[in-house]
Amino acid sequence: MSVTPHLFIPGPTNIPEAVRMAMNVPMIDMRSGEFPKLTLPIFEDLKKVFKMKDGRVFIFPSSGTGAWESAIQNTLKTGDKVLMSRFGQFSLLWVDMAERLGLKVELCDEEWGTGVPLEKYADILAKDTAHEIKAVFATHNETATGVTSDIAGVRKALDAAKHPAMLFVDSVSGVGSLDMRMGEWGVDCCVSGSQKGFMLPTGLGILAVSQKALDANKAGGGMPRCFLAWEDHIKTNDLGYFPYTPATQLIQGLRASLDLIAAEGLENIFARHHRLANGVRAAVDAWGLKLCAKEPKWHSDTVSAILAPEGIDSAQIVKTAYYRYNTSLGVGLNKVAGRVFRIGHLGALDEFMVGGVLFSVEMALKDCGVPVKFGSGTGAAAEYFNSTATKAAELPKAKAA
């Protein structure tokens, strides 16, 4: 019997039926007078998800990597000095991009399993009295290691130093699942993508920018650019169109996704992700295993990177889960290849789905020689979910027959 693989990688995530059906419609004319009725409300509703105070949102036909590049190219010049930190595969790739685009990177190289080093950032910014640093970069959620960093803390470091640098944040696996207060935290460029908290296929790079970033662009900031140029998008987006053929089916799906997010409510979404992540962490503890994240303050509510026991190849655990139990887990990347396997718990999921992946992981661990007791992790998660469930008195009363 053919059964769709159970997807528990940290993106792409599962697509809700309402979102999938919204994309399963005839192709529409992206230059018709009706198209802005779809797009203009999407731009405004995206701002609510980012919790912006000003600025605008750009949508590119790309992955989040395109939004990374657009943020840099439209605001910074070759040779500009920036402050960055590297503590996982995706923060590593952002540093690599910045260097390849000609930025002068002051780098904090951190242990994988930790996050943005606030104390180091604060010290570096305080000493930069000439304000040579033009932008500070922070990876909100590092999916390679299951680490979430304190973006509000980065803003405090900038404010304490009275530093005018822009704040760039990669929240590809954060926005729509973890709290992102772009306005309150003074984030100037926030990068996301369609395939994580927005519950869509890969293909839309979503970039939210502040008025400060827009002003930097207008003042002549930026590098040579074309496909990702803000100027071209502003001219057409304001009318509800794009400077080139957009990914219309994905945009149709984004409308449905934003409707689902609004219906559940952002705060409820954040609470759901935190609760489900705690269930996974309870299972990991019950198995006698450890997370890659070094301390609870780093724990991610969207992905858990779990260290395999000494002598066990984590890649074999992932293969076993896939080929024996039809369950997709995330592999270890770069420095943690062969050392961690990852459970993605973000987007459209509930307790039942989390219980299912924990069931598969228990069997795969046992098959790979890890001495776990069947039911230990799933039981611990069930105990946690039961103890934190909505009380019966708070549930809707059944109607009389």
C-alpha 254/C-alpha 271 separation (Å) is 22
> What percentage of the chain reaches a pLDDT higher than 90?
95
Q: Which helix (H) or strand (E) holds 58?
A: strand 56-60
Contact call for residues 223 and 167 (beta carbons, < 8 A): no
Give the DSSP letter of residue 6: E
For the chain, state the CA radius of gyration: 22
- Residues near 58 by Cβ (< 8 Å), separated by ≥ 6? 67, 70, 206, 207, 208, 209, 230, 233, 237
Final residue belonging to a domain, choices 262, 296, 315: 262
Binning pLDDT at 50, 70 and 90, where does residue 397 land?
low
- Tokens representing 250 are 């994905």
pLDDT of 399 above 60: no
Count how many Cα atoms sit within 13 Å of the Cα of residue 104 in the half-sphere of its side chain.
7
C-alpha 254/C-alpha 23 separation (Å) is 9
pLDDT of 394 above 80: no
Average pLDDT over every residue of 141-146 = 98
Tell me, yes or no, whether 61 lies in a domain.
yes
pLDDT of 279 above 90: yes
The H helix count followed by the E strand count for the chain is 13, 14
In 329-375, where does DSSP find H-type helix? Answer: 351-367
- Phi and psi at 88, nearest 5°, equal 180, 175
If asked whether residues 252 and 325 sit together in one domain, one would say no
If asked whether residues 246 and 351 sit together in one domain, one would say no
At residue 393, the pLDDT reads 44
Tell me, yes or no, whether 3 lies in a domain.
no
Average pLDDT over every residue of 111-136 = 98
At residue 190, the pLDDT reads 98
At residue 94, the pLDDT reads 98
pLDDT of 401 above 60: no
- Tokens representing 201 are 């296929």
If asked whether residues 251 and 271 sit together in one domain, one would say no
If asked whether residues 286 and 191 sit together in one domain, one would say no
Query: What is the three-class DSSP state of 256?
Result: helix
Average pLDDT over every residue of 350-364 = 98
- Number of structural domains in the chain: 2
If asked whether residues 246 and 270 sit together in one domain, one would say no
Average pLDDT over every residue of 109-133 = 98
If asked whether residues 234 and 285 sit together in one domain, one would say no
Buried b / exposed e along 75-112 (16+ C-beta atoms within 10 A)? bbbeebbbbbbbbbbbbbbbbeebeebebebeebebeb
Domain that holds residue 223: 17-262
Average pLDDT over every residue of 271-285 = 98
Average pLDDT over every residue of 386-397 = 69
Contact call for residues 364 and 331 (beta carbons, < 8 A): no
At residue 3, the pLDDT reads 84
* Of 369, 372, 378, nearest in space to 310 by CA: 369
At residue 391, the pLDDT reads 60
Average pLDDT over every residue of 15-41 = 97
* Of 302, 300, 364, 352, nearest in space to 327 by CA: 364
Tell me, yes or no, whether 9 lies in a domain.
no
If asked whether residues 195 and 295 sit together in one domain, one would say no
At residue 1, the pLDDT reads 58
Tell me, yes or no, whether 401 lies in a domain.
no
C-alpha 112/C-alpha 145 separation (Å) is 7
If asked whether residues 270 and 258 sit together in one domain, one would say no
Cα→Cα distances 112→10, 172, 229, 310, Å: 17, 19, 34, 18
Cα→Cα distances 22→8, 27, 218, 256, 382, Å: 23, 11, 37, 6, 34
Can the peptide bond before residue 12 be classed as cis, meaning omega within 30 degrees of 0? yes
Average pLDDT over every residue of 12-29 = 97
Tell me, yes or no, whether 200 lies in a domain.
yes
If asked whether residues 223 and 110 sit together in one domain, one would say yes
User: Any idea which residue has 């999916």 for tokens?
Assistant: 143
Give one DSSP letter per residue of 113-167, joined into a string.
TB---HHHHHHHHHH-TT--EEEEEEESEETTTTEE--HHHHHHHHHHTT---EE
**pLDDT, the chain, mean:** 96
If asked whether residues 249 and 160 sit together in one domain, one would say yes
Average pLDDT over every residue of 70-75 = 97
If asked whether residues 275 and 130 sit together in one domain, one would say no
CATH of residue 292's domain is 3.90.1150.10
* Of 200, 124, 208, nearest in space to 158 by CA: 124
Q: What would the pLDDT profile of 155-192 be if each residue is shown by its tens digit?
A: 999 999 999 999 999 999 999 999 999 999 999 999 99
CB atoms within 10 A of CB 36: 15
If asked whether residues 276 and 300 sit together in one domain, one would say yes
Tell me, yes or no, whether 136 lies in a domain.
yes
Final residue belonging to a domain, choices 241, 262, 283: 262
271 phi-psi bin (left φ>0, alpha ψ -120 to 50, beta other): alpha
Tell me, yes or no, whether 233 lies in a domain.
yes
CATH of residue 208's domain is 3.40.640.10
Final residue belonging to a domain, choices 196, 230, 262: 262
Tell me, yes or no, whether 6 lies in a domain.
no
At residue 222, the pLDDT reads 87
At residue 395, the pLDDT reads 54
